[in-house]
Structure formats: structure tokens, C-alpha cells
Chain A
């Protein structure tokens, strides 16, 4: 039966193989004669390489190759820039990408210096220990503000400072708004580095087939097609000689989007050199250094408001830490710059950022991708306004929301997708209201909190909103085909890392073709199956690839109906597609299965009409003119344990709007997972660096990821404002959960410590920093009392 399956919580097609341990992950690839690679990495943050002695390593048992920068030829060209800077007037961008191996100097701890390939990972790691490198240490730039002030020994010798970029965007006249303001509030915010830490580390397996002259690469990447195209260029091959497969990926969250990581270039190259398959699997310690980081920013922000708390303007000047290289361009700071505007009408905006090179791992997107920082700044500024003007925190937000009749709403600055930042659709107040209702905001503040406080319990409530730019271009494509069995094949170029694409894309095809979702086979991330596309990032899979799947399935539906009508001698408007069959509506006995139709569409003898294309197949592409803007509100009630300052989340509510929903079960799962990562980011995860830039807690015991004990039960509410930018009306949701948790925790904790007028300005927090802040504030309060 062709029942409605889009919009339903359909169970996932991919689950059974994952649950049985049958799903192929990259590290599972086994090939005859497989060799293993390991890397020697820099122990210093900034040092010249004076000499490298690899002789002992070459003699080590089981070693087939030891390679340094001088051995790898054209791979020493700088890695490609992934995202060029957008067309913003006056923009400065100093492009410095890494090379596959460090040659004259190392710029961060963990930068690869040499690669060993051996018969086993154990033997390769033995040989790594036998490589001797002489270094001359250089001053290390770790703090982003100091880095920009440095006068010498820059991260890149050919630059005259550590400045990587400088961008100003403005709307209206902030200074005028400031002059007219009732109140101007200035704050300094910091948002520290974090990492994505997917449970599966990165892995690359490469197999050069000497006889077939083809290279097959299995790669834990979110962007298999760009990897294929880039590898072909680097290795002197044509695109059709390279096949990149991104099989099941064990979580990515942006960290597997950076391209090219050194290992992605070197492992395929080594397979060609040695004419044997080679695998490299990152270990967790390496992951802390060699996989991209995110999040380091310092903001000096100012908000100008009128007497009622309406925003007149915002000025924000910030520094963004890109690490030692800037392969990912300006996506992150531009996201911060744009997402700061949130759901609010901000008539004037002056935003200026500088990007600093530092001697740390390069920075690239991690779930949220710069959005967190912007949301943190605007939400915290609104909290400070609420406090100073004595306005309720939910009310100050409501007053500043962009009204529902203002869409499309133009913020008059440029977004990360190079298009003007124009919100496509939105209806914000119902989302805020629903979050307040679900957490019983008014009752909590009026009754519950005073009662609990009287019992000596430190409880606080927070409520924040966010906008999430999603579903950006340029494009994705999909091919849909009815197979001889009557089952349906959907092929798309994006990779998948747990988002349920095997099911949500299947739902789209099943809906059009009247088959069961389990009869749709989805293939993603194999460049031999689909040639075009960019990848899975920016919450764009469902929007961009999803619309391509829907368009291709719709085209196949037309072909099926026309062929069936022809063969059954009825008109096309009398055909229904139901239960895997094309049936004559008035006389269901008159029918053909999709398998029969697929066979008829591919005759093996006889003649066809001129112009006939074989098969029930169609390929379609979708490229939106700009991204869609999803949005939502989070609310939480936190309790701080006296003495230990441990935090307990008593209630957590998410209300979000991602337009039309394909599978609400999957969407809710995305939200839950995002919130969990947001909680880790807000309250647990902090990379602690020593003076060389070594991470003192580069393991999962000391770098605390949230467990089932820290992540609370969440209540989710949905609103649905369709996007006008695509035929299905969908928006992305992958990052929604993660974005506003920092300011939410900060606000609720401020509330819990309102007696000492706590104001949290820095993320991440932890029990220790919270305790120190409260003590400090408490002492200040005493001082204030003594003075007054």
C-alpha cells in the first residue's frame, strides 16, 4: 500500500547490520597483503627540524618503507584550501595550508614528520620509536591574543605577523545607535577549544591495483567525492582511476570533514609506491592532536538598547583561533559573526574579527561550527540587559524577536555560503512560548524556585533561543532506479555518519514509488556509484541530497506510470503505484509489478521507439539559492550540589522547528545527541595545554565526555514552518541540539547564584571554575556591601 511514509517515525533500515556487527567500517577492511602505517609526530609546538635520521627505522623488523618530507615529491605541495573566503569588501586572508609531512619546521604538537609502513601496526610503531630528529625549539604561540601581538618567530616565517585573516561586516550605523541608546553594556566573552571526539577514530585504507591501474580508498571522510577528485590530482591519476568509499562512519560531527588530512594523502601514495594495500588507523591519543579542533574565540561585545530593552545595535570585535593552518577558510568565524544575530531584529551591527595563527592543531568545523560562539555572545548580552533593566529573561527575548510577517528577513551581511544572510521563513514566538510552557517557566520562577531555595537548594532556570543556518549549497545529486527485483535503488554522493540516511532517503523514494521503505536500498559515499557532490556537513544532507532524491524519485514515478499505462493500455491518470505494483485504479486486477516494468524498460531483443532511454531510472540535482534557517529554544532547570558544585540537570526542554520533517524519530535522535554534545562542551570538556602546546589530558579518562549520568532525559517539542527554498519545505537539524547549551547553562547557573550576582562569561565551565567564580563574586559582593 502506498501509505504516507514521509513524516513518519519509520524504523531504520541500517540498524540490523549495525546491531549484528555486520556493518563495514573503514578499519574493518581486510585485504590480502595488507600493510600498516604509523606516523612520527612532533613533540614540540614550534621548532625547526635540523635533521632526521631514519636508518635504524629502515632496518627495523617488518618495515617496508620509511618516508620523510624529502621522499614524497608532489605531496609536499600545500594541501588545497577547502573553502575560499567569501566576497566581503576589504577582507584580508592569508592562506597557509599544511603539507603532508613537516619539512623545515613543525608548527604544532602532533604534526606528522615521518611515515613508516610495515607488516603490522605493532611493527610500524616499533620503527617509529627508532627515528631520531634534531629540533631547534622556537617560541610557541598558544594564546590567541598574545599570538596577534607577537613581534617575531611567527607561525609562518613568510608572514609579518600571526594574522591569518581580518574581516569587517556592518549593517546600519552602530555608533549612531549607541549615541541614542538608553543603555550600553559591554562584556568580554571567551569560548575555549574543544574536540568532536567521535568514538571511531579516523582511518584510511588504500589499495593500488597495479594491473588495473586503479586506486581504491576506504576513508572515514564526510566528503568522499572531493577526496576522490583531490587524490586524482595529487597522485597524477584521472578521476575515474580513483574510487573513494566512505562506508559506515562511526560518528564524525565535522571532524572527518577536513580535507586533506595528511594521512589521506600519504596512505594512498604509499600503496602506489609499495604496490600493496596499506591501512592507517588513528589511535585516540593521535586523535587529540591530528584531527581538527574547534571553538577558540575571544569576544569584546557591546549592546545598545532602549528603555524597554529593544536592541538598537550590537558591536562585536573578536579573535578566532585557526591553529597552525587555515585550510577551512573563514567558515567558522563567519558562522559566529552571522549566528550572533540569532532570532532577533538588530537594526545596526558592527562585527569585526581577526583570525590568529597559533601553534596548535588546525581548527575546522565541529557540530555547530562557530555558531555556538555567536549564540553565546548574543544570549549572554540579552541576559545582561535583562538584569540591568530588570526585565524577565524570556520577555527580553520575546520583545526582540523578528516578527513572523518580516520573512524573508535580510540581515544585510554575507553568510558562509557566500550568499546574503537572509532568513527564509520563521515563526519564533510560538517556539519560545512552547519551551516556557513545557518547562513551566512562570510557575518555576514564582513558586518552585523560592520553595526550593528556602529548603537550601541551589536551583536555577535558563531559557535561550538560537538560529541555525542549514542546508547550504552548492548542490547534491541522486540517482533512483527500479531494479529487476522490483526493489528500488537510491544512490547519492554524500557520506553518512549515523544520521539515518539509509532510511530517510528510502522514505522519500518509497513515498513516490509506492514501495515499502525496506525495499529501498540506499547507497551513499561510494564515488564509483555516484560521481558528483560535495559532502555531509552544515546540516545539509536532508535538505540538499534529500531534495535531489525526491526529485529523482518523482521523475522515476513518471516513467513507471507512463510505461505501465502504455503496457496496460490505460491512460496515465488511471495508474496508482501501490505495494510495489502499478495498478489500474478502476480495475486493480490489471497490474504489473515494478520488477516486470523494470524488465520491460530494458528490452534485450527487438526494436524500441526512437529516443527511448532504457530503464526506470533518473538522476536529479538540487542546489538551493541559499541556506535555510532552522531555529528553536532550549530551557533547563539546573541544580548545583552544595559543597561539590556538581551540576544536576533537573529538566531539559528543546523546542525546535526544522520545517517539514521526514522522520521525527531520527530528528529527535539528532536533537538528543546534539544536546549531549552541547552539555559536554558547556560543562565538561576542556583541553588543557602545557607551555609547548601538549595536551595534558589527551585521553578519554581525563578529557571528560558526557556519560549517561550527565546527560538528562530531554523533552522535545516541535513546530513546523516550511522552508520556501526547496520543494519539500525541509530544513536541517543536525546541529540544533548542540548550539545553545553554553549560554543556557550559564544563564541557569547565574540564576542559581543570583544572590552573589554571578555572571558567567567563559565556556567551558566545570565544577572547579564555577566554585572559583562564585567565591570571587561572593567576595566582590562583600566588598560592595562594605563600601556601600
Chain B
């Protein structure tokens, strides 16, 4: 464990340089070293999805990655979703639809769904269920998460439509 590796990465838009042991998990680096404890660890074997982060924009299980793999890559955690204190539309929709109870799995769902909605702006229920089938939630029974996702998609489309519309008329 003694040999340290220097890594340069970007976390939530900020450059970070750190020296880390080769075996340090990315999830532990994010939580323990960077103190970004919104990324939760549920199984440490890549099944529950609670630790999902964005790795160069792709949802990834930080418990299955090493911190050294962050070298030269961009990471976004749940703390990076809200901007200027304003919740992301998906976060707003989770609140509006009671898409969370204990909230432990929630960051993983959010980080799975943000890139999903970017690719699927108008998903149907089955597609949403498929998209979250790699994330486990023990509280909600998923229905409210599905409803929140569909609501967020609609609101994001409407917002995008409004922007497009205003550009078209200007």
C-alpha cells in the first residue's frame, strides 16, 4: 500500500491533484479524501449502483474503479448536479414525485438518469425501468422514481422547447 501515485483529475469542474495508493478505490477517494460523501457505497461489488458517478460523462460504478483510473479524466458526483444552489430538474422531480425515502440510493439513481435523459429526452416507462434496472432501491418500490424521471423528462423537454422557441422567434 505504500507506493503512492500522483493523479490529476477534475472533480465537479475543479482540477484536483492527489497522491494515492494504487489499491485505493475511487469511491473511497471521493468519499474519504475529497470528502464528497454524497456518493454512497452499498455493496462494493458493483451491483447496487449507489456509488454511480459520471466518468467522462458516462455513469460508472466508483466502487469498481481505482482512484488512479481518475487520472486524466473528469468525474462528476451528485454534489455537482445542482448549479448555483438550484436543483437539477431531475432532483426537483424526485422531490415532487416522492422519488426518495431514505435517500441512500438516490445519488446513484440521479447519476444514472442524468446521462440517460440526455440520450432519451422522451422515454416511455419501460425504457426508464430498463435504465434503472441496475440500481437497487429498498424503500420506494421504484414507481415514484419512474414517475419522477418521466416528469423530469417532460419538464426538460418543455424548457428546451421554450428556449428553442424563443431563439426561433428572435
Docked pose: A714 CA to B40 CA in angstroms: 28
Tell me, in angstroms, the Cα distance from A674 to B141 when the chains sit together.
7
Residues of A within 8 A of B125 (CB): 713
Residue of A nearest to B38 (CB): A21
CA distance A203 to B38 in the complex (A): 16
- Closest-CB distance, A301 to chain B (whole angstroms): 30
- Mask, B1-29, CB within 8 Å of A = 1, is 11000000000000000000101100010
* Residue contact B47 to A700, C-beta cutoff 8 Å: yes
Asked if residues A20 and B136 are in contact (CB atoms below 8 Å), the reply is: no
Partner of B133, one of A61, A198, A498, A708: A708
Q: What is the bound-complex CA distance between A15 and B42, given in angstroms? A: 20
Partner of A19, one of B37, B110, B130: B110
The answer to whether B107 touches A21 (Cβ under 8 A) is yes
Q: At the interface, yes or no: B160 with Cβ under 8 Å from chain A?
A: no
With CB as the reference atom, state the residue of chain A lying closest to B107: A21
How far apart are the CA atoms of A250 and B128 in the complex, in Å? 24
- Mark B60-86 against chain A: 1 for CB-CB distance below 8 A, else 0: 000000000000000001110110000
The answer to whether A11 touches B96, judged by C-beta atoms less than 8 angstroms apart, is yes
Is A22 at the interface (CB under 8 A from chain B)? yes
Asked if B95 contacts A11 (CB within 8 A), the reply is yes
* Chain B residues numbered 103-148 whose CB sits less than 8 Å from any CB in chain A: 103-107, 110, 125, 128-130, 132-146
C-alpha gap A745/B110 in the complex (Å): 32
Contacting residues, chain A, for B135 (C-beta < 8 A): 707-708
Chain B residue contacts of A19, Cβ below 8 A: 78, 82, 87, 91, 94-95, 100, 103, 106, 110
Q: Which of B31, B94, B98, B140 has the most CB of A within 10 A?
A: B98
- Given A673-B140, A677-B138, A700-B136, verify A27-B103 contact (CB < 8 Å): no
What residues on A are CB-neighbors of B24 within 8 Å? 122
A251 within 8 Å of B by Cβ?
A: yes
8 A Cβ contacts from B31-71 to A: 31-32, 35-45, 47-48, 50
Closest to B46 in A: A701
Give which listed residue, B101, B110, B143, contacts A498 with CB less than 8 A. B101
A779 interface contact, C-beta 8 A: no
Is B163's CB within 8 Å of the partner chain A? no
Chain B residues within an 8 Å CB radius of A11: 95-96, 98
A269 within 8 A of B: no
A669 in contact with B98 (CB, 8 Å): yes
Per-position 1/0 for A471-507, Cβ under 8 A of B: 0000000000000000000000000011110000000
**Chain A: which residue is nearest B35 at the CB level?**
A30
Bound-state CA distance A669–B142 (Å) is: 10
- List the B residue with the shortest CB-CB distance to A19: B91
Residues in B whose Cβ lies below 8 Å from that of A12: 95, 98
Judged by a CB distance under 8 angstroms, whether B102 is at the interface is yes
Closest chain B CB from A646 CB (angstroms): 14
How far is it, in angstroms, between the C-alpha of A110 and the C-alpha of B11 when the chains are bound?
Answer: 38
- A274 to nearest B CB, angstroms? 19
Q: Using CB atoms, name the residue of chain A closest to B96.
A: A11
B87 touches A16 (CB 8 A): yes
The CA of A497 and the CA of B103, in the complex, are separated in Å by 9
A54 within 8 A of B: no
Contact B140 A672 (CB under 8 A): yes
Cross-chain contact A21 with B42 (CB below 8 angstroms):
no
Question: Are A675 and B141 also in contact (CB < 8 A) when A25-B104, A699-B43, A700-B48 are?
Answer: yes
- Residues of A near B94 (CB, < 8 A) are 15, 19
A714 and B104 within 8 A (CB): no
Alpha-carbon separation in the docked complex, A668 to B130 (Å): 23
Q: Indicate whether A200 reaches chain B with its CB closer than 8 angstroms.
A: yes
Which A residues touch B146, using CB under 8 A?
A: 708, 713
Question: When chains A and B are docked, how far (Å) is the Cα of A73 from the Cα of B125?
Answer: 58
Tell me the nearest residue of chain B to A20, going by C-beta: B82
Which of A23, A200, A676 is in CB contact (< 8 Å) with B140? A676
In angstroms, Cα B27 to Cα A112, docked, is 26
Residues of A within 8 A of B77 (CB): 21
Give the distance in Å from the alpha carbon of A19 to the alpha carbon of B136 in the complex.
Answer: 16
Complex interface bits, A694-709 against B, C-beta within 8 A gives 1, otherwise 0: 0000011100010111
Is the Cβ of A707 less than 8 Å from the Cβ of B143?
Answer: no
Q: Are the C-beta atoms of B102 and A28 separated by less than 8 Å?
A: no
**Residues B91 and A708 in contact, CB atoms below 8 Å apart:** no
Q: A21-B36, A284-B43, A676-B140 given as contacts; is B133 within 8 A of A199 (CB)?
A: no
Determine whether the beta carbon of B103 is less than 8 Å from that of A713: no
| A interface, size bucket | 35 or more
**Complex: chain A residue closest to B125, CB-CB:** A713
In the complex, residue of chain B having the shortest beta-carbon distance to the beta carbon of A120: B1
Contact of B100 among A18, A198, A284, A708 (CB under 8 A): A18
The answer, yes or no, to whether A600 is at the interface (CB within 8 Å) is no
Distance in angstroms from A247 CB to nearest chain B CB is 11
Please state if B136 and A705 are interface contacts (CB–CB under 8 Å): yes
Residue of B37, B142, B144 touching A25 (CB-CB under 8 A): B37
- Picked from B36, B87, B104, the residue with its CB within 8 Å of the CB of A251 is B104
Residues of B within 8 A of A669 (CB): 98, 101, 139-141, 144
Hey, which chain A residues are within 8 Å of B32, CB to CB?
Answer: 30
A665–B144 Cα distance when bound, in Å, is 10
Q: Write out the residue numbers on chain A whose beta carbons fall within 8 Å of the beta carbon of B136.
A: 199, 700, 705, 707
Chain A contacts for B110, CB-based, 8 A: 19
Nearest residue, chain B, Cβ from A705: B136
Instruction: Output the least CB separation between B162 and chain A (Å).
Output: 24
Once the chains bind, are B104 and A673 in contact (CB under 8 Å)?
Answer: no
Given contacts A673-B141, A675-B141, contact A199 B103 (CB under 8 A): no
Q: Are B142 and A676 in contact (CB under 8 A)?
A: yes
Chain A residues near B105 (CB-CB < 8 A)? 199, 250
**B141-A18 in contact (CB<8A):** no
Which residue on A lies nearest to B41, using beta carbons?
A27
Residues of B within 8 A of A699 (CB): 43, 45, 47
A711 close to B143 (CB less than 8 A)? yes
Partner of B144 from A253, A500, A672 at Cβ < 8 Å: A672
The smallest beta-carbon distance between B12 and chain A, in angstroms, is: 10
Bound CA span A121–B32, Å = 11
Q: Judge whether A714 and B91 touch: CB under 8 Å.
A: no
Q: Assess the A673–B133 pair: CB atoms within 8 A.
A: no
Residues of B within 8 A of A275 (CB): none
Q: Does A14 contact B (CB under 8 A)?
A: yes
> Known interface pairs A19-B110, A21-B39, A198-B138. Does A707 touch B133 (Cβ–Cβ under 8 Å)?
yes
Within 8 A of B (CB), among A12-49: 12, 14-16, 18-25, 27-28, 30
A249 an interface residue at 8 Å Cβ cutoff?
yes
- A713 touching B143, Cβ below 8 Å: yes
B residues in contact with A398, CB < 8 Å: none
Determine the chain B residues whose CB is within 8 A of the CB of A701 once the complex forms.
45, 47
Residue A283 at the B interface, CB < 8 A? yes
Given contact pairs A669-B139, A672-B140, A701-B45, A709 touches B133 in the complex (Cβ within 8 A): yes
Chain B residues with Cβ under 8 A from A354's Cβ? none
**Could you mark each residue 244-282 of chain A with 1 if its beta carbon is under 8 Å from any beta carbon of chain B, else 0?**
000011110100000000000000000000000000010
Contact of B104 among A200, A284, A707, A713 (CB under 8 A): A200
Between A283, A700, A709, A714, the greatest number of chain B beta carbons within 10 A of the residue's beta carbon is seen for A700
Q: A666 near B: Cβ within 8 Å? A: yes
A197 at interface by CB-CB < 8 Å: yes
Residues on B with C-beta less than 8 A from A284 are 42-45, 48
A-B contact pairs, 24 of them (CB 8 A): A19-B78, A19-B94, A20-B38, A20-B91, A21-B107, A28-B37, A30-B32, A61-B1, A198-B138, A199-B40, A199-B136, A250-B105, A251-B104, A284-B48, A672-B144, A675-B141, A676-B142, A699-B47, A700-B48, A707-B135, A708-B135, A708-B145, A711-B143, A714-B143
- B residues near A (Cβ < 8 Å) are 1-2, 21, 23-24, 28, 31-32, 35-45, 47-48, 50, 77-79, 81-82, 87, 91, 94-96, 98, 100-107, 110, 125, 128-130, 132-146
Known: A21-B38, A200-B40. 19 other contacts (CB 8 A): A14-B103, A16-B95, A22-B79, A25-B37, A27-B37, A28-B31, A30-B32, A122-B21, A126-B1, A199-B42, A199-B102, A248-B102, A497-B102, A672-B144, A675-B141, A705-B136, A707-B134, A708-B129, A709-B129
